[in-house]
Amino acid sequence: MPTPALEVFFDGACPFCAREIRFLRRLDRRGQILFTDLSASGFSPERAGIPWDALMARIHARLADGTMVEGVEVFRRLYVLLGFGPLVAMTRLPGLSHLLDAGYAWFARNRMRLAGRCVDGRCGPLRP
């Protein structure tokens, strides 16, 4: 298999995240993206070269040259690969960019609670 243009590290146990990834997989007709589920048995953070807590705090992706990107930039890279470059360009506008960054940061901090993954006041994924 050729090197993917982008490898995305996502939390498959997060229903919101899993829904988005299913959508993206359907759009990736050319097979440019490798989707790596952090919740899959056998996944090790060493595979990404990023500590577990950092991987779970926000979405990460590795570019073909090995560079890592995170947060909203991951989604920008994904959607450019899928042919939505003109729309992605708008997300880089100063006001909109800051709004998207803030919105994603809020979501990333609260996704466990929003997904009902809190027990006895403690929210979080299972560690590998």
Residues 3-7 have a mean pLDDT of 92
Residue 115: the pLDDT is: 78
What share of the chain has pLDDT > 70, as a percent?
Answer: 89
Residues 6+ apart with CB under 8 A from 66: none
Residue 109: the pLDDT is: 87
Helices 94-114 + 15-27 axis angle, to 10: 130
Better-predicted residue by pLDDT, 87 or 123: 87
Q: Residue 8 — very low, low, confident or very high, per pLDDT cuts 50/70/90?
A: very high
Q: What is the mean pLDDT of the chain?
A: 90
Does the pTM of the predicted model rise above 0.95?
no
Q: Is the pLDDT of residue 127 over 60?
A: no
Domain spans in the chain, listed from the N-terminal domain onward: 6-121
pLDDT (tens digit, 9 = 90+) per residue, 16-41?
899 999 999 999 999 999 999 998 99
Q: Residue 125 — very low, low, confident or very high, per pLDDT cuts 50/70/90?
A: low
Q: Using the 8-state DSSP alphabet, how is residue 127 labeled?
A: P
Q: Is the pLDDT of residue 126 over 60?
A: no
Closest C-alpha to 73, from 85, 59, 84, 87: 59
